[in-house]
Structure 1
Amino acid sequence: MFPCKSASSPSAGPADGLEEAMPRPQAHAPRGKAPAAHATVAPPARRRSGLGRLLRVLVLVTVWGGLALAAGVLFFAWDLPRPETALVASRRPAVTLEAADGRLLATSGDLYGERVRLADLPAFVPGALMAVEDRRFRSHFGLDPLGLLRAAVANWRAGRVVQGGSTLTQQLAKNLFLTPERHMRRKVQEAMLALWLESRFSKDQLIEIYLNRVYLGAGAYGVDAAARLYFGVPARRLALWQAAILAGLPKAPSRYNPRSSPEAAIRRGTEVLGAMVDAGLITAARATEEAAKMVLPPRPSGDAGWFSDWVQDDLADSFPGSGDLALRTTLDLRLQAVVEARLGALLAGPGAAAGVTQGAVVVLQASDGAVRAMVGGRDYRASPFNRATLARRQPGSAFKPFVWLAALEQGMDPSSTVSDQPLTLGGWSPGNGRWRARGEVSLEEALAHSINTAAVRVLLAAGGARAVAAVAERLGVQGRFPNNASLALGTAEVTLIDLVAGYAPFANGGMRVTPYGIAVAHGGGRSLAVPNPAPVRAVSAEHAAEMRRMLAAVVSRGTGRAAALPGRMVAGKTGTTQDFRDAWFVGIAGGLVAGIWLGNDDARPMEDVSGGTLPARLFHDVMEDTIR
């Protein structure tokens, strides 16, 4: 409120100039009497009225503003959890995995380690966390306006979200009390809970709670559980380089998991050491010395290690709580053994001769997406990185079925014709390999023989790259899709498991499935609901049947003949990337969809290995041993 000047002041009010310019009203004495010597002139009514209106507006704004503030607080706070209940220490559950037939598959230790005290930990454990996640933790009040401003500027410059502004206290509030949903209401609640935590606990207590409760991947909550899981030591005996790796996990526990992604974990740990140098906690020489020590020991392998890791990766979201879990999985141990043996033999024999060092296989049930077998590499002990679920590669011509489906949905059919003649788009001319142009071929023949020039024309007829990418995403294929005609030749980047799931609608009548590995769950003495999405209609039954017919032509008379099984209906598609860097086969047989990738981790070219050679043969061998 601005100060008001006195009515008797020579400079009073905005109307002062008007009062001197206009004649003042005269006071008149009663008839027959002289005017009083000191008669008082009343102030203008307009002036009193303006001041009153201003006071009324201020009162109304205060009252309604207070009511609006109260309503806002009530809106955001009415369903807030009781913070005290989330701070109660949780017991340490164990996880038991069973195969589909009930045989023991794997067991894992407690999800929660021992409760640690800040005084018992090396100083660099909390130091590393604060250096990389919240350098001003000791000085802010739970929210960090400077950090939010810095993140906003960085995100604006990048044109996307590249940096977050959440404090450790906000992260703690989210992890303890809230769901992972991302919307404005949850962010406001997160801020309110962060302020409550700051008022309730000291900074040392907050960082201690965080270290005991933060999720650090592979089902491990708290720094002690993670230290035992990844390094085989309690948290109080962590080395600096180990603490740096753990401090890097909260950003993305799955991506930087030392068990499944050791190289990514080491890179992230090195970043944390650099942040500690910037924060003045260690010297650059010490950081270099510790980075050189970052060697993650291979985890002892059990049966189906890649599958077990994959199944347990999302347990925190699927089964929140602290009870012991007994999980019946979808894994078929006999089929898993066949896949492991056949892939191992191929890599040791013809694969080695052709310069192939790695491979991955996923077999799922076409009707609902249950994963029956999964191999994520050559040797789990040597490399637990799961190439079936985490590695993104170009699928080559194995992506073409989504182009063909888009064309069917635009009114074409398997007998529709397309030119296989050379073409040039903006200086780019796709080649056809050994195929000799015939002029016009049917869609079925073009897919069977994987004709690249025809594929580009089919993509253009189907509406272009964006339309085809939308079809692939609708069927469950997530990846990076270029917005140009090269997408017809498989220049997207996808995972094997997504690609296999994308073929399932061609086998099951048009239903999209989501791959899953847990069929039945028990915890705390009762059955638990398993959050497996049900199949949903993604393709018409007619188009699904037409796609399966054309994919069968690939195997019967096209590039996938090596996958054929006598007396069995087999459908599928081959895929080969430039310079033979990746070779794929995704096939359908006996109610199963199986995908195979062969290549090298460093993308080194293989020697003339295409999708129709070793991958198609491996599919044949696996299915021959599986389908009776």
Structure 2
Amino acid sequence: MPRPKSPRTRPTWRRRFALALKIFVGLGVLALIGLVIAVYVARAQLPSFDELKSSPNGQMIRVHAADGTVIVSLGPSYGEWLSFDQIPTVMRDAMVAVEDRRFRSHIGIDPIGLARSAKLAIERRGEGRRLQGASTITQQVARTIFLSNKYDVGRKAREAILALAMERKFSKDQILELYLNKVYFGGGAYGIDAASRRFFGHGAEALSLSEAAVVAGLVKAPSRYSPTADAEAAVGRAGVVIRLMQETGKITAAQAAAANPTGVALAPAPRQNSVRYFTDWALPQLETLIDETTRPLDVWTTLDLNMQRAADAAVRANAPKNAQGALVTIDRDGAIRAMVGGTDYVSSNYNRATQAVRQPGSAWKLFVYLAALEAGHKVEDKVVDAPITINGWSPRNASGANRGEMTLRTAFAYSVNTVAARLGQEVGFGTVADMARRFGITTPVDTRPAMVLGTSDVRLLDMTRAFASVANQGVAIIPYGITKVTAQGETIYAQAVDRSQVLVAPYVAQQMTDLLQTAVNTGTGRAAQIGRPVAGKTGTTSSNKDGWFVGFSSGLTTGVWMGRDDAKVVPGLQGGTAPARAFATFMKTAVANRPVEEFDTKVTLPEWALEPDEESYFGQPDNGVYVDADGNPIDQPAPPAEDSTDDGDRVAPPAPVPQSEQNPEQLDQDWIDRVLDRTPAPAPRPTPTPRPAAMSAPPRVPEQPSDRVLIRPQEARPTQ
């Protein structure tokens, strides 16, 4: 009879299985204890809900115009934070349906979702796919705020621990609020409000069902499903979201059928217009103004949108064909009200108002005459227009003729080069250079004699600043574009205007303004007249490569430059033509709502009135090309039907002044004819009489490749 087996003789496999089970359970218990400890340690270290709300996704910068309008938004996020109650129900339901349908029931991780994803990963292991679709909304919040998007096992483990900890510390509503305000939706937009404004042009609190479906569909692949990049893919993904919302009972079949993602109106893409010239100049200054690199910023600027539009239009309308233009206008306190750095920001973001350095031509004579006035000259002082040689340099006037004794007023109004050279020699060329630096010229200044004709390269902003300081009674104007900066409602920077730096005595500035008025009223800048007091100066460089006009009226100072970036000839371009016309076009709009302001000195006419055949004095354009009204070259000169500026381009004559309002000292044409011993022509608009031999234009000098004023021993190309 066989003996019963002893308990000690049980099969070895059973004993091993029991031992392994005990070890496994023990390890599981230890792992669970470790997980609980890790979760509660993480929970204790989690920031508060308010701190998580303020944690940045990257610094946001919103730039405001002077009227508060947001003109540019920079950085990865620019939406408003919406509390849970402010978020539309359709948006909350859409996001839960498509991203985490068991959000309300899981503990931070979703075992069912993990199992399904693991199964799919095993089935598709030959396709090289990784575990996808298992992250809950809570895990995505943890990853967005605390972790990176790098995919590895360690990161997934930390993500799961943080998700469990967050579920222990925050409510489901708080987690969903964090998620909807922080998740990335593409196009630089973090959060539903940023996405709504980016794609639909309105805040998220007004999202419709179809719009919410489009936004919810972006999270899976922001670039692939972006409505601005692939509208068809975005609509298809939105359809999936709407179907899932119906499946989960969030919307009815009727609501799903009524939804129409294809009918969603997208916000127009922001235009890269001329405003960007201003913001590209102003925003880099934040590095020196503030020390805030995390909180979102609101930057309040001086830009006047109406003036900016007018400036853009004026440059586009008046810039010669194939040429560029730039304009900047400064208010009486230094505030930049408009800045245009080119004819088209999209094709060229090079800012010619602040970056380009070009020769200013006779606009530079501002500093020559300021130095002379400060040295004791008066506007009515007599000077001599006669040949002069300085260290081997012999400047000449555009006509090649000299007129003898004249007043400073006449010499400035008609931009007489020999007088400028004589004044520069008298006061010292170094003194003129110092005056330019005093008034804000930041580029190197040449101190050779020819510098009086504007041979030193300058920036348009610097020249405009100099004229603005003259308009400000000789008190320095410091241009600025940022008035204040706020971070989450706190003002961290505010502009303080400095009015303490006196550059020249007020009487010097007043006399300079007197001269500048004359240049606009009867001299080289007549095309800049706008029907109210204006003071300014033209500038033209050799072979018509640069044209300038800088002037002021009613508290605004505006500078205009035109030319080619490659410094090639622009036929017909003179400071008194396209730049002066652009100035007038812009200023008529810019000062329309400002009161008319008279200058301290009244307009006084120069000794001579402009002669009918003005080229006998001013000469023809030094490139010798006849041009039409648009600056295009023509074969034959048109019969003179209008007066022209000093720059050789034709403009409409000023409106006649009623006899009752004429200055008794006004010189009429009969008087000029008698003094010059001319025989009055029988026709109302006669063909100009031939020039006397002594008044004939000098032979043209072959064009030089450089854009600088042509300067040679014993001769210099005139600048006007």
Once the 2 structures are TM-superposed, how far is the Cα of residue 91 of structure 1 from its aligned partner?
Answer: 7.0
Decide which structure has the larger Cα Rg and report it: 2
CA distance in 2 between partners of 1:476 and 1:92 (Å): 37
Of the structure 1 ranges 323-332 and 381-390, higher mean CA displacement relative to structure 2 is found in: 323-332
* 2:311 maps to 1:339: yes
- Which residue number in structure 2 is paired with residue 547 of structure 1? 512
Equivalent positions of 1:22-421 (< 5 A) are: 92-110=58-76, 301-302=272-273, 304-322=275-293, 323-347=295-319, 351-352=320-321, 356-365=322-331, 367-421=332-386
CA distance in 2 between partners of 1:512 and 1:437 (Å): 37
Equivalent positions of 1:595-610 (< 5 A) are: 595-610=559-574
Once the 2 structures are TM-superposed, how far is the Cα of residue 412 of structure 1 from its aligned partner?
Answer: 1.0
- Which residue number in structure 2 is paired with residue 484 of structure 1? 448
1:424 to 389, 402, 418: 389
CA contact (8 A) 1:506 1:548 kept: yes
Secondary structure of the equivalent of 1:374? strand
Equivalent positions of 1:545-624 (< 5 A) are: 545-566=510-531, 568-624=532-588
The 1:303/1:379 distance shift into structure 2, 3 A limit, reads closer
CA distance in 2 between partners of 1:455 and 1:518 (Å): 38
Once the 2 structures are TM-superposed, how far is the Cα of residue 608 of structure 1 from its aligned partner?
Answer: 2.5
Once the 2 structures are TM-superposed, how far is the Cα of residue 518 of structure 1 from its aligned partner?
Answer: 0.8
* 2:437 maps to 1:473: yes
CA distance in 2 between partners of 1:429 and 1:493 (Å): 21
CA contact (8 A) 2:274 2:340 kept: no
Measured against aligned partners, the alpha-carbon deviations of 1:336-390 in whole angstroms (never above 9, x if no partner) come to 101111211223xxx12xxx5101000110x211000000011100000100000
- Which residue number in structure 2 is paired with residue 166 of structure 1? none
Secondary structure of the equivalent of 1:509? coil
- Which residue number in structure 1 is paired with residue 171 of structure 2? none
CA distance in 1 between partners of 2:372 and 2:317 (Å): 40
Counterpart residue identity of residue 99, structure 1 = A
Once the 2 structures are TM-superposed, how far is the Cα of residue 531 of structure 1 from its aligned partner?
Answer: 4.9
Counterpart residue identity of residue 580, structure 1 = N
CA RMSD of aligned residues (A): 2.1
CA contact (8 A) 1:580 1:607 kept: yes
Once the 2 structures are TM-superposed, how far is the Cα of residue 625 of structure 1 from its aligned partner?
Answer: 2.3
Once the 2 structures are TM-superposed, how far is the Cα of residue 585 of structure 1 from its aligned partner?
Answer: 0.2
Once the 2 structures are TM-superposed, how far is the Cα of residue 90 of structure 1 from its aligned partner?
Answer: 8.8
Secondary structure of the equivalent of 1:386? coil
- Which residue number in structure 2 is paired with residue 447 of structure 1? 412
CA contact (8 A) 1:497 1:595 kept: yes
Gaps of 5+ in 1: 1-88, 112-227, 230-298
Counterpart residue identity of residue 318, structure 1 = L
Secondary structure of the equivalent of 1:544? helix
Counterpart residue identity of residue 93, structure 1 = Q
Once the 2 structures are TM-superposed, how far is the Cα of residue 513 of structure 1 from its aligned partner?
Answer: 1.0
CA distance in 2 between partners of 1:91 and 1:612 (Å): 52
- Which residue number in structure 2 is paired with residue 625 of structure 1? 589
The 1:90/1:539 distance shift into structure 2, 3 A limit, reads farther
Once the 2 structures are TM-superposed, how far is the Cα of residue 391 of structure 1 from its aligned partner?
Answer: 0.5
Number of residue-to-residue matches in the alignment: 347
Once the 2 structures are TM-superposed, how far is the Cα of residue 489 of structure 1 from its aligned partner?
Answer: 0.3
CA distance in 2 between partners of 1:95 and 1:444 (Å): 50
Once the 2 structures are TM-superposed, how far is the Cα of residue 92 of structure 1 from its aligned partner?
Answer: 2.7
Counterpart residue identity of residue 553, structure 1 = T
Secondary structure of the equivalent of 1:403? helix
Secondary structure of the equivalent of 1:306? helix
CA distance in 2 between partners of 1:477 and 1:369 (Å): 15
CA distance in 2 between partners of 1:582 and 1:303 (Å): 21
CA contact (8 A) 1:318 1:531 kept: no
Gaps of 5+ in 2: 1-54, 78-186, 189-269, 593-720
CA contact (8 A) 2:484 2:495 kept: no
Counterpart residue identity of residue 386, structure 1 = N
Measured against aligned partners, the alpha-carbon deviations of 1:376-418 in whole angstroms (never above 9, x if no partner) come to 0111000001000001111110010111011111111111122
Secondary structure of the equivalent of 2:333? coil
CA contact (8 A) 2:274 2:312 kept: no
- Which residue number in structure 1 is paired with residue 498 of structure 2? 534
CA contact (8 A) 1:105 1:303 kept: no
Once the 2 structures are TM-superposed, how far is the Cα of residue 520 of structure 1 from its aligned partner?
Answer: 2.1
Secondary structure of the equivalent of 1:553? helix
Counterpart residue identity of residue 538, structure 1 = L
Once the 2 structures are TM-superposed, how far is the Cα of residue 552 of structure 1 from its aligned partner?
Answer: 0.2
- Which residue number in structure 2 is paired with residue 161 of structure 1? none
CA distance in 2 between partners of 1:385 and 1:311 (Å): 14
Counterpart residue identity of residue 310, structure 2 = V
Measured against aligned partners, the alpha-carbon deviations of 1:29-68 in whole angstroms (never above 9, x if no partner) come to xxxxxxxxxxxxxxxxxxxxxxxxxxxxxxxxxxxxxxxx
Once the 2 structures are TM-superposed, how far is the Cα of residue 610 of structure 1 from its aligned partner?
Answer: 0.8
Once the 2 structures are TM-superposed, how far is the Cα of residue 93 of structure 1 from its aligned partner?
Answer: 1.6
The 1:477/1:341 distance shift into structure 2, 3 A limit, reads same
- Which residue number in structure 2 is paired with residue 53 of structure 1? none
Once the 2 structures are TM-superposed, how far is the Cα of residue 532 of structure 1 from its aligned partner?
Answer: 5.0
CA distance in 2 between partners of 1:427 and 1:321 (Å): 57
Secondary structure of the equivalent of 1:433? coil
CA distance in 1 between partners of 2:366 and 2:280 (Å): 31
Secondary structure of the equivalent of 2:364? helix
The 1:494/1:406 distance shift into structure 2, 3 A limit, reads same
Counterpart residue identity of residue 106, structure 1 = V
CA distance in 2 between partners of 1:532 and 1:471 (Å): 25
CA distance in 2 between partners of 1:450 and 1:608 (Å): 18
Normalising by structure 2, we get a TM-score of: 0.47
CA distance in 2 between partners of 1:431 and 1:90 (Å): 65
CA distance in 2 between partners of 1:418 and 1:405 (Å): 16
Normalising by structure 1, we get a TM-score of: 0.53
Once the 2 structures are TM-superposed, how far is the Cα of residue 427 of structure 1 from its aligned partner?
Answer: 2.7
Counterpart residue identity of residue 509, structure 1 = Q
CA contact (8 A) 1:106 1:302 kept: no
CA contact (8 A) 1:505 1:539 kept: no
Counterpart residue identity of residue 343, structure 1 = V
CA distance in 1 between partners of 2:515 and 2:61 (Å): 44
Once the 2 structures are TM-superposed, how far is the Cα of residue 435 of structure 1 from its aligned partner?
Answer: 6.8
* 2:495 maps to 1:495: no
